[in-house]
Amino acid sequence: MEGLLFYATFYMNTGFRAAGTLIFVACLFSGCRDGAGRPAGGADGAHGGDGEVGKMENIRYAKGFTIERFSHYKLLSIFNRSATGLDTLRYLLVERGYPAPPGFAGAGVIRVPVQSMVALFSIHVAEAHFAGIADRITGLGSFAYIYSPAVRRRIAEGKVRQVGLDGNLNIELILTMRPDVLIGTANPGGPAGKYAALIRAGIPAVINNDWLEQTPLGRAEWVKVMAALADREKEVDQKFDSVSAAYSELARVGRAATQKPHVIIGLPFKGSWFMPAGESYVACLLHDAGASYKWSDTRGTGSLALDFESVAPEALTAAYWLDIGDAVSKADIAARDSRYTQFLAYKNGNLFNNNRQTDENGANDYWESGGVSPDLILADMIRILHPDLLPAQELHYYKQLR
């Protein structure tokens, strides 16, 4: 159930304006609890269907996928964990001009490098940008919350179509577009059947469940899937290594803080306060930023659906309040519920929301590029909670609400 709660909360932020938070889960690297290890690679192990021995790509943090490289193709395996077990989705990324290898029954075939793609969610736009192939996006789930100026220009020029989301996915339109690949997502343990008609028609659908990763860097490392689709592994590996190194150093600084101020997260939504569970990546970020978080010892990688009365005792004394839904000012917060004005962070003015990079359309870049820039998010958090630990610099994703 908590996984489904997170799914709803995450997509309210990436597709619709509402309260909620992304989920970051624990890791040894960042001082948080480690999650389950990555399953073994594809069903054929280190050998392709033609007997060739493959080489596993170096995936350091992500647990949800593996990539195995062969002479003229790559085997991408994506793992979908649920309470009933583990499903593995396999894709053959075959170099153009070469036949698909035998021995991979049921695997989807994608010709690479891809020249066109449908990216259903804004995080997929960020991953395409990171890989340098945002100009290959020809379809988006919704235009409403896409932040990227380059992609918005392509939308204005009529080069990108809006194809809908989930139950409103416009299958007929996508079939006429004939993209090389569709990048989508699925519930934990849920079927990917909403893409079945596309798959039967020869349009591969890659299930990109980056949001289920157990660390900020694990989530960001899904850019390597985009790199494999684009044949841009070298460039992406170099950029990712820079992000990883920056995050690692910042986490060292944050965890060394002697004072650990208490923090609360989010705003109630439809009667529930969705607080990040202790094994979530928000809890991990707070730990790495040198914060104290009341729910850090709870189990689960999603959200805790709490009532106001459960959160209020902590909120009355917590020094900081972060990720405050779509609130834009102290007056905005007070107008939603006068009880919020009694919180210590409200009285002291320590209200920081992650909506600094919001454009005139309401698109928030925190939910777009933030997914591949956990180092920038962590730097913001440390500067908020421990302004003496890092050189003075303007916050990137966050702003203080006044």
pLDDT above 50 (res 41): no
The DSSP element (H or E) to which 310 belongs, if any, is: helix 308-315
Overall residue count recorded for the chain in this entry = 402
Residue type, 33: R
CATH for 257? 3.40.50.1980
Looking at the domain assignment, is residue 16 inside a domain?
A: no
* Backbone torsion region of residue 101, taken as left when φ is above 0, otherwise alpha when ψ lies between -120 and 50, otherwise beta: beta
Structural domain ending residue among the three candidates 92, 112, 132: 112
Structural domain contains residue 255: yes
Helix and strand totals (H; E) in the chain: 13, 17
Domain of residue 54 covers 37-112
- Of 271-280, 363-372, 375-384, the poorest mean pLDDT is in 271-280
Q: What is the pLDDT of residues 80-119, one digit of tens each?
A: 765 556 678 999 999 999 999 999 998 999 999 999 999 9
Say yes or no to pLDDT of 388 above 60: yes
3 state SS of 152:
helix
- Of 112, 146, 162, which closes a domain? 112
- What's the average model confidence in pLDDT over 57-75? 95
pLDDT digits (tens, 9 = 90+) for 142-185: 999 899 999 999 999 999 999 999 889 999 999 999 999 999 98
Q: Return the bridge partners of 140, or none.
A: 119, 162
Work out how many domains the chain is built from and give that number. Answer: 2
Of 112, 147, 164, which residue constitutes the final position of a domain?
Answer: 112
Residue 30 near residue 284, CB atoms below 8 Å: yes
Distances in Å between the alpha carbon of 200 and those of 100, 178, 191, 212, 255? 17, 13, 15, 27, 50
CB 318 within 8 A of CB 345: yes
Query: Within this chain, do residues 251 and 394 fall inside the same structural domain, yes or no?
Result: yes
Residues 396 and 249 in one domain: yes
| β-bridge pairing 73-82 and 65-69 | antiparallel
pLDDT digits (tens, 9 = 90+) for 193-222: 678 899 999 999 999 988 878 789 999 999
| Rounded Cα gap, residues 357 and 271, in angstroms | 28
pTM, 2 dp:
0.87
